[in-house]
Structure 1
Amino acid sequence: MPSRTPHRFRRTAALLTALAACVALAGCSSAEPSASSSSAASGAPSAPASAAQGEAASGSSGPTGSTEPSSTDEPRQPGPAHVSIPSIGIQSTLMELGLNADGTVEVPPADQGMTAGWYTGGSVPGAPGPAVLIGHNDTRFGRAVFHDLKDIREGAEVLVRDGAGTTLRFTVTGKETVSKKAFPTEKVYGPTKDSTLRLITCDGEFDAEGHPVDNLIVYGALA
C-alpha cells in the first residue's frame, strides 16, 4: 500500500503557508497598538483586546480548520508543555495558541508576558515539520519571556518538554532579524522532513506608531 506521507507532507505545506499570513508579522510594541486598520497596514498588526501591548499579534485572516486532524490509526503525540534555553536563562510553560473568531492567531495575553505559546495549528515538536513558539519581547507590564532571545548563539540547546514528561533537545542552527515587510515565509513556515523549531518575537526600532519594524527568528533542529 502506498505511503500517505507525501500527501500529508503536501497538505502540511499548504497549511503552513496559509498560517504564515497570520503570524509572520508578529510584533511587540512599547505602546498599546491601535485596533485600527492603519496599524495592520504599518506592519504592526492589530492585537486582540486581551493582548494589548508588546504582543506577537496577527492581523490577517488565518486558515480555516488549520489543525490537521489526527488519523485513527496514528496515536496523538503529546503537545509541548515547557520550553527552556539554559544558555540565556529562559524558562517558560507553554500555553496553546489557536485562532481567534476573526481568523487571527491567538497570542499570550499581555499580563502573561512571561509565558510563551505554541501554535497548535503547526507541527508538534518532535514530529516532522516546523513547530512554532511565539513569545513577547516586552509588554506594558515590563520585559517578557523572549526579551533575551537576541543573545542566543548558534549551537545553543533549546529544551522542549511535552505533556508526557519527555524532553526533546533542539540545537539552534541560526537566527536572523528581518523586516516585517520582507518576512521569509517559506523559510520559516515551509515544510521540513525533519523536526524543526522556530522561535519568533519582535525586534528592531519602533515606527512612528510605536510598533517595532522587525522580527527576530531563531531556527532550531532536533538534536
Structure 2
Amino acid sequence: MSVHPRVRGNRGGRGRIAATPALVALALSLVLSGCAADQQPIDLAAPDPPQAPAEVSTRTPSALPSSDPTWIEIPRIGARSSLVPLGLNPDRTVAVPPVQQPMQAGWYQYSPTPGSVGPAVVLGHVNGAGQDGIFARLRELRAGDEIRIGRQDGQVARFVVRRMAQEPKTGFPADEVYGDTAGPELRLITCGGSFDHTAHSYRDNIIAFAAFTGSG
C-alpha cells in the first residue's frame, strides 16, 4: 500500500509532510512496522501510569537556525548514535534506518532541524537482526530526562522529556507528533507494545515528547 503525502515548507525552515492526519498516521504505521520486519519479540513491560508533563522553565529559549543534526545522546538509557537523514521511500512512505543496523538512529529530514521551530522527529529501532536497537530502552524515559542532539554548526541542542506515550499503530497521534508548535520540540519514536507474530511487528509505538531547553 502506498501513501502519497505532499511536502511543503515549515516555519523551521524545512519541508515536512503535509497530509491529512489519516495519511500521516498510515505512513508512520507502515514505517514503524518496518522497524520490526525481522525482529524477535522482547519482553516489553507494561507502561507506567500516564505522567504529568515535566515542569519546564517559563523562560522560552531562543530557537536556533536550521542546521542538520549529526548525533543524539540520551544519558538515562545509555543511548548514543550518529544520525542519518531519512527521506521518503519510492512509494512515498517515510524511510527508516536499516533494520540490519539496529543501533543506528535517523532524523526525518522533512521535519525541522533539532532546535529550530517545530517538532523535529528522530526514529530508531527497538531491536533488529537478533539484538537490541538504539531505542530498546526508550520506554524507560521519564519526564525531566535530558536528550542532547549535536548539529553540524557545532551547537548541541538540549531537550527535556515532557511526557511519554504508548499508542497503537492503528491510532497514531499524527497531529501531536507532526503538528506545528510555538517553539522547538522533539519527538523520539520506536516500536513497542505486544508483538504480532503474524505480522512480525510490534502493535504499538513508543513516543517521547520533549521540549527545547537551550543550546551549548
Short-chain TM bin: 0.7 to 0.9
The equivalent position to 2:157 in structure 1, one of 164, 168, 189, is 168
Counterpart position of 1:219: 209
Q: Where does 1:180-191 land on structure 2 (aligned, <5 Å)?
A: 180-191=169-180
* Structure 1 residue 23 corresponds to structure 2 residue 13: no
SS at match of 1:111: coil
Hey, what does 1:53 align to over in structure 2?
Answer: 38
> Which is strand-richer, 1 or 2?
2
Q: Residue 26 of structure 1: CA displacement? A: 4.2
Instruction: Name the CA distance, whole Å, in 2 between partners of 1:191 and 1:24.
Output: 20
Question: Quick one: which of 86, 103, 107 aligns to 1:114?
Answer: 103
Name the CA shift for 1:79/1:215 in 2 (closer, same or farther; >3 Å): same
Partner of residue 201, structure 1: 190
Residue identity in the other structure for 1:130: P
Partner of 2:129: 140
Q: What's the C-alpha RMSD, in Å, of the aligned pairs?
A: 2.5
Give the TM-score normalised by the residue count of structure 1.
Answer: 0.71
- The CA distance in 2 between the partners of 1:52 and 1:182, in whole Å, is 20
Choose between structure 1 and 2: higher helix proportion.
1
Q: CA deviation at 1:147?
A: 0.2
| 1:141 CA drift (Å) | 3.4
1:159-195 per-residue CA deviation (whole Å, 9 max, x = no partner) reads 0000122101100000010111111111111110200
Tell me the SS of whatever aligns to 2:100. Answer: helix
**1:130 corresponding residue in structure 2:** 119
Q: 1:121 to 1:8 in 2, by over 3 A?
A: closer
Give the number of equivalent residue pairs.
176
Deviations 1:112-137 (A, max 9, x none): 21010000011111111100000000
Tell me how far apart the structure 2 counterparts of residues 13 and 105 of structure 1 sit (CA, whole Å). 11
CA contact 2:65–2:116 (8 Å) conserved in 1 = no
Structure 1: runs of 5 or more not aligned: 1-6, 28-43, 55-74
CA–CA distance in structure 2, aligned partners of residues 184 and 102 of structure 1: 22
Q: Which runs of 5+ in 2 are unaligned?
A: 1-8, 40-63
Instruction: Report the secondary structure of 1:132's partner residue.
Output: strand
**Structure 2 SS opposite 1:173:** strand
Identity %: 37
| 1:32 aligned residue | none
